[in-house]
Amino acid sequence: MTAANVLFGTPSVYEQLHYGPGGENLPIAETDAAYEAIKASVCGVGKGKPCGKRIGTLDKTAFFVNAYERLGQTARWSEVLVHDGAVAAVAMKSAD
């Protein structure tokens, strides 16, 4: 895939978006399921719950890469979750 825009995000930012107001309206895919499993392992919390005091540890070992096909508004993007230096999951997401 060719990307016109690539954004990197930490688990802290992910949790602000997904567990904050409006988070239930965000698209869910394989990367979200993988994040829940990694978060449970590192933070010891259940599905849908923020990491809590161990978020700093998670921020050091995981990050998201979002690639957009073009600049400006786009309804589709790819998302990669990397944990401990390896790709944990890849997904195509859509705002539709």
Domain count, the chain: 1
Residue closest to 47 by CA, chosen among 38, 57, 36, 58: 36
The pTM score is: 0.90
Q: Which two tokens stand for residue 18?
A: 């997904």
pLDDT on residue 62: 98
Query: Confidence band (pLDDT; 50, 70, 90) for 96?
Result: confident
Parent domain of 86: 5-94
Under 8 Å between Cβ of 88 and 38: yes
* pLDDT tens for each residue of 21-53: 988 888 899 999 999 999 999 999 999 999 999
pLDDT on residue 22: 87
